[in-house]
Amino acid sequence: MNGGDPPNRQIKSALRTFDILETVHALGEPTFTDIAGELDVSDSTLYDYLETLTYRGYLAKDDGRYRLTLRFFDLGAAARDRFPVYKKSREPLKKTADESGAAVWLMVEEAGKAVYLAREMGEQSIETHERLGKREYMHCLASGKAMLAFAPPEHVENVISRHGLPERTHESITTREELTAELDRIREQGYATNEHETAEGVSAVAAPIIANDRVYGAVAIAEPVARMRTESRKQRLIELVTTASNEIELKLTYE
């Protein structure tokens, strides 16, 4: 996803490079033919780009198939370390995962989307579609809504204008009116919830991380809907994410 408004003069070769990398990412481990079928570029030009990216170490080619290399992991890890909230959250996330038994995520916002920045897995957690580094629409995540609720109104409007309110499931919020009412509730109660809004069968609770009048991110716990439908369980998870976010806020403020 683009990180800002389009520049007045876009460099076509740069755009093509990233189109190729994103196509390889989307297809998994595609062949040359697979990639060519997705892009409007001549075979000779595509070949030159792929050879250059392989030479620079951003792509690898095995048995005729291309894949992204761990150069991106190196860059991503360095980018993650530059978020102040990341290092301050590691102990609180681990403690919350141990106490809840569920998957606990640190979420941040970048370019109007929620990003999965860190994760700790409890003993009863299950693997879902989420992954580290993944970007998701904010309006359909508990964590995204928690961050939006405490952001300036003009920022919320910018996010909506830029990304819209697409329907991920039949439970997703899809209108400004619905989202405004939901954000009002979140500000009043101090936490956000999500049930079936991003993926069927998955629930989440989240609390924002706010320090020095700035929203740094959110702590979220996700687990199957059936587990969270018990009111005592839901309240316990709300207590845990709120405690974790408060602890991170104190670390950001005083350490």
User: How far apart are alpha carbons 185 and 146 in whole angstroms?
Assistant: 10
In this predicted model, what pLDDT tens digit does every residue of 65-107 receive, in sequence order? 999 999 999 999 999 999 999 999 999 999 999 999 999 999 9
pTM to 2 decimal places: 0.86
**Pairwise CA distance, residues 61 & 249, whole Å:** 45
Reported as a single tens digit per residue, the pLDDT across 202-215 is 889 999 999 999 99
Task: Give the Cα separation of 174 and 181 in Å (integer).
Answer: 12
Residue 20 near residue 46 (C-beta atoms within 8 A): yes
Q: What whole-number distance in Å separates Cα of residue 221 and Cα of residue 233?
A: 12
Give the pLDDT confidence score for residue 126 in this predicted structure: 72
Residue 244: predicted pLDDT:
97
Cα 15 from Cα 96, distance rounded (Å): 41
Task: Please write the tens of the pLDDT for every residue from 156-174.
Answer: 999 999 999 999 888 899 9
| Amino acid 1: pLDDT | 39
**Banded pLDDT at 5 (limits 50, 70, 90):** low
